[in-house]
Amino acid sequence: SSELTQDPAVSVALGQTVRITCQGDSLRSYYASWYQQKPGQAPVLVIYGKNNRPSGIPDRFSGSSSGNTASLTITGAQAEDEADYYCNSRDSSGNHLKVFGGGTKLTVL
Amino acid sequence: QLQLQESGPGLVKPSETLSLTCTVSGGSISSSSYYWGWIRQPPGKGLEWIGSIYYSGSTYYNPSLKSRVTISVDTSKNQFSLKLSSVTAADTAVYYCASDDYYDSDNCAFDIWGQGTMVTVSS
């Protein structure tokens, strides 16, 4: 199975832009999806596909991909964006196996 | 509005089998565009995909857990279930069920999650 690698922690000043990245071989074939998880809560899907936001997700969240790297960008980070962020995709094997990245703790300063 | 709810024992003894059920409401588990998945999260750690099932019964498991995992579906009850055998303390985690939406022919995302249920493995 393949792996997805994320930086363990990232920080951003309030109102600034931050990019959270996810690397893995499977991302050459499949899109990443991104999840936000706040303490004590279930993860919430924030980005999927090329750059799609589920209903209710603010447009300051966006996604992109290049080669084996997917990125989640928050433009104008808010205090409520402080959370853990996980990427996820199908495994590079071509089967319906799934894999999660290790997660990135985002701190908004 | 699709909703998922996990249920099952919160405490399981070592070497026994963990059993959880996810009840789907607000939609049909027989939807052709959805798989149904289980994901877990040990305390203070990241998310781990356990496996997914299609309404027809096709299953896909995490290779690291495959020998101990069984996921099944009951379309008449709009439920799917997880069994994890021979549990140890390392299986202590919050277990989530989620809808695994194939929004195109190749790509998918876990779009709706249950609230999660904490399962502790201890004697």
User: pLDDT digits over B60-118, tens only?
Assistant: 999 999 999 999 999 999 999 999 999 999 999 999 999 999 998 889 999 999 999 99
- Contact present, B14 and B88 (Cβ < 8 Å): yes
State pLDDT tens for residues B20-41.
999 999 999 998 889 999 999 9
A48–B109 C-beta distance less than 8 A: yes
- Contact present, B25 and B11 (Cβ < 8 Å): no
Q: Give me A51's structure tokens.
A: 């750059």
A42–B48 C-beta distance less than 8 A: no
Burial per residue of A34-52, b for 16 or more beta-carbon CB atoms within 10 angstroms, e otherwise: bbbbeeeebbbbbbbbeeb
Nearest to B6 by CA among B35, B45, B37, B43: B37
The answer to whether A50 faces chain B, any CB pair under 8 Å, is no
SS3 A9: strand
Q: Counting Cβ atoms within 10 Å, is residue B93 exposed (0-12), middle (13-18) or buried (19+)?
A: buried
| Alpha-carbon gap: B68 to the closest alpha carbon of chain A (Å) | 16
State pLDDT tens for residues A6-33.
999 999 999 999 999 999 999 999 999 9
Q: Give me A18's structure tokens.
A: 């931050």
Which one of B47, B103, B106 has the shortest CB-CB distance to A43?
B47
Q: How confident is the model at residue A1 (pLDDT cuts 50, 70, 90)?
A: low
What's the mean per-residue pLDDT of chain A?
A: 96
Q: Count Cβ atoms below 10 Å from residue B44 Cβ, excluding itself.
A: 5
- Contact present, B89 and B121 (Cβ < 8 Å): yes
Which one of A37, A90, A103 has the shortest CB-CB distance to B108?
A90
State pLDDT tens for residues A66-76.
999 999 999 99
